[in-house]
Amino acid sequence: MDSTEIRFPDIDFAADPLPNLHEVLAELRRQEPVSPILFAGKPIWLVNDHETLARFVSTDDALSAPDAYDELFTRTMGRGLPILRGEAHARNRGLISRVFFPGKMREFAETLFAVEAEALADELEGRVRVDLVADFTRTFTFRNIARLLGLPLEDVARLQDWANRIMHVFVDPGPAETAGTEIGEYLLPLIHARRLAPRDDVISLLTHVELDRERLDDEDILGFCRNLFPAAIDTSTNSLGSLIAHVLPDRALWRDLARDPALRESAIQELLRFEPPLVMIPRRATRDLEIGGQTIRAGDDVRLCITGAHDDEKAYDDPRAFRLDRNRSNFAFGHGEHFCLGTQMARRVVAKGVEVLARRFPQMRLCEDERVEIVGGVLRGPRSLWVTL
């Protein structure tokens, strides 16, 4: 790809905060459905409309997820689901899905997630002004992952550091790779211990789950857990923060979210469309092909832009309006064989966090002197979320 063709050459989608992301994507979409952009200092292709993304998001035939993830994440996350293919992918996905099925996540929502939400709400009681990102959303999701995996809560700060370094692999690969190694060294003894003496936690379930007499080995479990730290945590954190930011100004809606589970589900579904926590997902062209009027060569890096697809007026009426009456599906957690297995966990974390905060703090309001800024060109959520309780 000729770098002189780059659209918005002053913007690096991997590194820049992009508070105006929706406006940038709209301008690109007015020009073409597929655009050359800058990502981590390199030119890549961005698929930015709903119809084109829908053609490729469910299959690896032309635009391969494993090829893209292999280069990006193998050195940090190991043998995770995103890089597996064929029978190996189907086998591991089948085994892991037996642990992360919706019923189990609903059970955790009313036990582990509820306990952590109430404990953090207790810590907020009596305070007047707090940043919910620092004091609730991020800590809440990290504690939930720690509890799910059976890890001590005193290790949460280490988990946060590892996840932060891994998610900066695009712009700072050295520390990301070190973090992946450190996670492995931390988790492997726990995996061995849970094989011998299982407990009521996800690592124990993963070590003993069986399908057609097959089980996950150590590297399978390490790969899944390494991916769980940054992916599930950041999507849950960002979704919860973004949802609160968008619904809190509507006082009646905020109160209703405390008592109406169906309304919470509608709000989460619309948030995932309106401000998806994962902006784009990586693919690599397996052959020369033409997409959206652009000639893409075998080996070219491509990003399927979920946010752009969700903003497409050809797919959604008035897409930049936050409306709870929409019934359309979205691509926030992928589609087809790459549909994220952590979907139910992320949804239950967000639902429980909103429920507890709305019930415990019905008078919560955004601070008028602190602007909420949603940022990120890869992972997207509020920098901070200052509220009065």
Note the pLDDT tens digit of each residue in 42-80. 999 999 999 999 999 988 889 998 888 887 777 787 777
pLDDT in tens, 217-274: 999 898 888 888 766 667 899 999 999 999 999 999 999 999 999 999 999 999 999 9
Q: For position 326, what pLDDT does the model report?
A: 87
**Mean pLDDT value across the chain:** 90
pLDDT at 89 over 80: no
Q: For position 173, what pLDDT does the model report?
A: 85
Q: For position 34, what pLDDT does the model report?
A: 97
H helices present in 50-201, as ranges: 50-56, 65-77, 86-97, 102-108, 114-124, 132, 138-149, 156-166, 173-196
Q: For position 281, what pLDDT does the model report?
A: 93
Q: For position 1, what pLDDT does the model report?
A: 65
Q: For position 341, what pLDDT does the model report?
A: 67
**Across 338-348, average pLDDT:** 79
Model confidence at 135, in pLDDT bands (50, 70, 90)?
A: very high
> Could you tell me the CATH superfamily of domain 3-382?
Cytochrome P450 (1.10.630.10)
Q: Under DSSP, is residue 271 helix (H, G, I), strand (E, B) or coil? A: helix
Q: For position 104, what pLDDT does the model report?
A: 77
Bridge partners of 36?
45
pLDDT at 156 over 60: yes
pLDDT at 3 over 60: no
Instruction: Choose between 84 and 243: higher pLDDT.
Output: 243
Q: For position 211, what pLDDT does the model report?
A: 74
Q: Which of 85-89, 262-266, 322-326 has the lowest mean pLDDT?
A: 85-89
**Across 273-291, average pLDDT:** 95
**Would you give the DSSP letter of residue 84?**
-
Contact indicator for 62, 38 with CB cutoff of 8 Å: no
Write the single-letter amino acid at 172: D
Measure the CA–CA gap between 132 and 245, rounded to whole angstroms. 10
Q: For position 271, what pLDDT does the model report?
A: 97
Q: For position 85, what pLDDT does the model report?
A: 76
pLDDT at 2 over 70: no
pLDDT at 137 over 70: yes
pLDDT in tens, 187-226: 999 999 999 999 988 899 899 988 778 888 999 898 888 8
Q: For position 100, what pLDDT does the model report?
A: 74
Measure the CA–CA gap between 272 and 332, rounded to whole angstroms. 6
Instruction: Choose between 114 and 214: higher pLDDT.
Output: 114
Question: What is the dihedral angle through the alpha carbons of 133, 104, 256, 115, rounded to the nearest 10 degrees?
Answer: -50
**Across 83-93, average pLDDT:** 77
Residue 326 is encoded by which pair of tokens?
Answer: 């929409």
pLDDT at 176 over 80: yes
Measure the CA–CA gap between 284 and 39, rounded to whole angstroms. 14
Instruction: Choose between 5 and 130: higher pLDDT.
Output: 130
Q: For position 231, what pLDDT does the model report?
A: 67
Residues written for the chain: 389
pLDDT at 123 over 60: yes
Closest CA to 63 of 283, 249, 349, 359: 283
Q: For position 336, what pLDDT does the model report?
A: 66
Give 215's Cβ-side CA count (13 Å radius).
Answer: 11
Which residues are CB-contacts of 19 (< 8 A; sequence separation ≥ 6)? 373, 374, 375
Angle at 186 between CA 185 and CA 191, to 5 degrees: 95
Q: Which of 86-90, 309-313, 359-363 has the lowest mean pLDDT?
A: 86-90
Closest CA to 64 of 301, 385, 351: 301
Report the share of the chain in percent with pLDDT over 70.
97
Q: For position 223, what pLDDT does the model report?
A: 86
Q: For position 356, what pLDDT does the model report?
A: 98
